[in-house]
Structure 1
């Protein structure tokens, strides 16, 4: 027995050394003489430990604004300037819009939906369909603005029921309203906040993107896919899959219900619109409008459409607790514009420059996805003076754009006035790009911006938001949980009712 093991070991060690040397060579050797310069990083890991917004911008001093390297054996390029990100994902978007292979995401999407799909024919068709739907969205006389306005009413009504002086977690409330907006758009109706099924979906949505217990394990699983089979990582991974399945089963049930009652002359929501396209759209497109793709698209809307808005709102409250003077300025603006019985509408947004500036500054200060959703080259690409080989991972450092000192004076400071002109009017900056740019720009951007405006303004219209008196300090705003989305640590606030002027 021992002699047998000795023989195996004798033949295995040369193989192991050879494999190690091959990996070492792959780590050291850049794929092309004109590949962007950058550090070699660590063996095998490459520049993985540098993939943080601030760390990557530090490399500009040595390598320039376009940094190249290897990350877990994959050619990787990071773009740190707005102009490079814009040109790469817009002018060269047709060949820099695929997705790199990520086993964890592929396991949960199975290739369906938009987030993980390469920029192929199905992707283009689904994006065109989604864009057209959201642009002309009318469901039984309802549109996105009126849905958000109605949900704001339920949101304030629910908060009014809370016991006065009792600390509450507003982030949970934000998830309630954003999930309901997506439910109305995709399913045609909202849920009561205390509905058992609804609460399961809300809790799963929160944990998928930021369960503090599982985040460290899942981050490593996303980098090293094979870890998802090894304890203790596999336990976190199984919980991650279970939460996705819970949401997918819920969506499939709703799709089945829609099929039973489908009426092509009465399209009420996103699912109905997709089913109509499936049955009556161009014959050549119908294979790409199948049931699996519908389930994937609706799940994308639920997860991406709730997480970004909810966490932006949560960051906004945390930051404003550190800057209470801006809450007063926002409330003064609201009170001057809206009478006690006047309904908030989207048209008021143009008359609320301070509120808009505060929202844009929150988006700038707290980049939810610091490197955006990664892109991948579908063929060799000449970009600037460099050559990016096929299957190169390309990331836009959105954090760097939002913190570029050449654009923003003292970028680490929270200062909404940087978004107001000399006349006090709001200026929408092209350099605030939390939803990305180019051909893979987030489809739900318009929905998110409307939600954030309605819910934040409604909250401060009817409540003073105060720090939790039982907490030892104000919410942490410089640190948070980073998995797919950068979300704040859990904190609580106290709501104090106020009467609009």
Structure 2
């Protein structure tokens, strides 16, 4: 036998066996659907992965595994299991193989969302303390939100009851709250540059929906095709946003700082100087790439989640007009429709608050959360998860789990009220995720959602234009579930 002639075939066979072994479940790994060599389960997940995984959960249970190409992922679908696992320090890592987040220019391993290890710990603590010091839940922050609420209400009144897509102005208003927090300034709702910036956030999130395909098939990035186009577009969008944040940082450098912390940029610079002064022999964790990435995370997460939840609230109100009417009656009776609602009014409006919670449950905005990664071998419900395994909280299934929610497919705010109409928080509710990497802006988001949604319903009755269809069934899937564009008529309540 001429061994040289068969050597290429043997090498190819060895490579194929190695790649196949990478998509074979290790010993004592959770069960799941059949894995296709090299591809994993990507093709089976389809365009609505959260719905596919919900079906797999019924077949394989609350702890199941799938493969994102050759990358193992374990999906947890029980609230208490997620709560226990995500409280473990060993499950605080992040996926560092993104085809979009590739280097310093696209913020690889920087920021508050994708960082891990010591960098993440230090900056999560810093961000939490800074946001608290800046006034989350305090008067000046509330004033900034109320100002934006009044601006969006003014804009909607000027539509003169013509069908309107509220997304751009609503997103800009909510972005301005974040801008006040991190830059100490706001932008005009009709500023085209600012509107373009907020639209880039949505485009970038859509790009992440194609990231799995690019990772599983790197060859797709070598020639023109839809995956490559979307990945390159997402990279370009991130660079454009980073350039905008750099511009704000440069402009901010010439602003005189008053006594005390005035915005996130001032706080960051003060901490950077402190770290450099006390650790001169050690590289500071407070550098410029980390600042830009943190600003991008705060801006993106703080804009997209709140604005999209508010859009979902509009949809559920027009689908359930009797709920909208009850909210308006509660506001009229407890506070009055002529008074701008403040955060202190939340205690007077339990039904309104319950409606917002039910919107969050039904929308399940981030259906599969942000993947965590194990930093060491761990055991979950008797299964062994090796170091480097991605772990996902199936928030969509949790929010629709009949073990926690009676008739979960129904929109029913009363599930968040007890017999005395006092608010309750049942198990199985986690719109801001759970554990050590839960959303650090939860307190701000709750205040924003109340002030925007309650005040908009105080001012307007929402109607669907004749011939139009607005439905919870129409949405786009990426990291977040976003309603497809729709128009409504905003009828002033006079």
TM-score of the pair, normalised by structure 2? 0.91
What stretches of structure 2 of length at least 5 have no aligned partner? none
Separation in structure 1 between the aligned mates of residue 5 and residue 189 of structure 2, nearest angstrom: 62
Is contact 1:481–1:488 with CA below 8 Å preserved after alignment?
Answer: yes
**Aligned position for 1:110:** 108
**Aligned position for 1:65:** 62
Label 1:337 to 1:373 Cα distance change in 2 as closer, same or farther (>3 A).
same
Separation in structure 1 between the aligned mates of residue 221 and residue 181 of structure 2, nearest angstrom: 34
1:380-433 Cα shifts (integer Å, max 9, x gaps): 113332221110111111111101111111111111111111112222334211
Q: Which of 275, 290, 294 matches 1:293?
A: 290
Separation in structure 2 between the aligned mates of residue 344 and residue 222 of structure 1, nearest angstrom: 47
Q: Which of 163, 166, 172 matches 2:162?
A: 166
Q: Which runs of 4+ in 1 moved over 6 A?
A: none
Label 1:39 to 1:412 Cα distance change in 2 as closer, same or farther (>3 A).
same
Q: Which moved more, 1:97-106 or 1:40-49?
A: 40-49
Is contact 2:340–2:455 with CA below 8 Å preserved after alignment?
Answer: no
Label 1:430 to 1:272 Cα distance change in 2 as closer, same or farther (>3 A).
farther
What stretches of structure 1 of length at least 5 have no aligned partner? 1-7
Q: 5 Å matches for 1:40-439?
A: 40-48=34-42, 49-50=44-45, 52-90=49-87, 92=88, 94-107=89-102, 108-118=106-116, 120-138=117-135, 143-162=140-159, 164-210=160-206, 220-221=213-214, 224-232=217-225, 233-261=227-255, 263=257, 265-281=259-275, 283-284=278-279, 287-439=284-436
Q: How far 1:459 sits from its partner (Å)? A: 1.0
Does 2:490 align with 1:495?
yes
Q: How far 1:125 sits from its partner (Å)? A: 0.7
Separation in structure 2 between the aligned mates of residue 429 and residue 143 of structure 1, nearest angstrom: 32
TM-score of the pair, normalised by structure 1? 0.90
Separation in structure 2 between the aligned mates of residue 134 and residue 368 of structure 1, nearest angstrom: 23
Q: Secondary structure at the match of 2:253?
A: helix
Q: Secondary structure at the match of 1:76?
A: strand
Is contact 2:368–2:479 with CA below 8 Å preserved after alignment?
Answer: no
Q: When the two structures are aligned, how many residues end up with a matched partner?
A: 481
Q: How far 1:106 sits from its partner (Å)? A: 2.1
Is contact 1:133–1:270 with CA below 8 Å preserved after alignment?
Answer: yes
Q: Which moved more, 1:228-237 or 1:484-493?
A: 228-237
Q: How far 1:357 sits from its partner (Å)? A: 1.2
Q: How far 1:484 sits from its partner (Å)? A: 1.7
Q: How far 1:52 sits from its partner (Å)? A: 2.9
Label 1:9 to 1:132 Cα distance change in 2 as closer, same or farther (>3 A).
farther
1:188-233 Cα shifts (integer Å, max 9, x gaps): 01111122321221222232234xxx78756633654553343123
Q: How far 1:61 sits from its partner (Å)? A: 4.7
**Aligned position for 2:11:** 15
Q: Secondary structure at the match of 2:379?
A: strand
Q: How far 1:12 sits from its partner (Å)? A: 4.3
**Aligned position for 2:458:** 461
Is contact 1:175–1:310 with CA below 8 Å preserved after alignment?
Answer: yes
